[in-house]
Amino acid sequence: MEKRRIRLTIAYDGTAYCGWQIQPNGITVQQVLNNALQNVLKAPVRTIGASRTDAGVHASGNVVIFDTDSRIPADKFAFALNTWLPADVKVQASEEVAPDWHPHFVDSIKTYEYRILNRQMPDPMQRLDSLFCYYRLDLAAMQKAAQLFVGTHDFASFAAGGGATEQAEQSNYESAEKHGTVRTIYRADVLCEDASTINTAMRTPASAEPAVLDSADAVSAAPVTAGPVSAAPVSASTPSPYHGMIRFVVSGNGFLYNMVRIMAGTLLEVGKGALAPDSIPAILAARSREAAGPTAPAHGLRLVQIEYPQK
């Protein structure tokens, strides 16, 4: 039987793993997935991931491919693999794609989310997937700054070491730019759930929309819709002393090493008043890592999804 190419959508809690890619110094998500595939197919399998998330980073929609001559129906791989995978790694969907389809050689839109729990006291239930921040943040300033990321820019200031990753140079999407540090951001928004909804989660339906804080001074924006996250940008004021769960949601055609975490760290500096919201263009123009804010910790970051406009 000819080889078939199977595409998996995979979700994982990255807390216990040394990132996505197999490496000698610790267990990785790719390693446990390969082990599960070997148990299902009774033979070694080589997997290729669309995004190489770092140690501690989570995902709800990473994409993986592998080739097989198995007769297992494509949509059944998800069920078969989940019986072998640990509780913190699960396949969400499986499907067959063209034999030459490759996640590194097709146009894509990646959406990441960085979560910040802004309240007086830490919540142990949120400790593994959000950054705790006890000081009150200026959300309107953060949203204003986030909007300045939208567009095509040189993001050298927002890259650890100033280099490109995720094999971006192999993509034919804006290939000339992707050899360097230029990326296109389609959406960058700071969203908020009111602190009261965090503290009364047992009385709030899981499907409730995040609270939008009204103000005449609200920052207006028309974000590009990308991914399953939908909520209005935050506004300038709130009666609560803290903001609850803040989410920085960003979509683009590719990201440099630590780029989203540095963007999030820079927005935190804006939120606490250490940087002006209109400083983003100057930081971009500097093309120097020292110009931007700190790298936010890995555990607050999640790869939400990867979209392929032309599958």
Segment 162-191 shows an average pLDDT of: 64
**Residue 242: closest CA among 276, 192, 174:** 192
Enumerate the domain spans of the chain: 4-97, 109-307
Tell me if residue 171 falls in helix, strand or coil. Answer: coil
∠ Cα 183 189 190 (to 5°): 135
**pLDDT tens per residue, range 271-293:** 999 999 999 999 999 999 999 99
- Which of 9-23, 106-120, 210-224 shows the lowest mean pLDDT across its residues? 210-224
Assigned CATH for 109-307: 3.30.70.660
C-alpha angle 163/62/108, rounded to 5°? 65
Residues recognised as catalytic: 54
The most confident of the ranges 33-47, 164-178, 217-231 is 33-47
**178-189 pLDDT, tens per residue?**
558 999 999 999
Beta strand 131-133 with 301-307 is: unpaired
Asked whether the predicted pLDDT for residue 75 surpasses 50, the reply is: yes
Per-residue model confidence (pLDDT) at position 202: 28
Do 4-97 and 109-307 show the same overall fold? Answer: yes
Report percent pLDDT > 90 for the chain. Answer: 73
48-52, 89-93, 182-186, 223-227: the lowest-pLDDT one:
223-227
- Second CATH level (architecture) for the domain 4-97: 2-Layer Sandwich (3.30)
Measured in whole angstroms, the distance separating CA 121 from the mean position of its chain's CA atoms is: 25
Candidates 80, 57, 115; CA nearest to 249 is 115
Output DSSP code: residue 87.
T
Query: What number is the average pLDDT over the span 223-238?
Result: 43
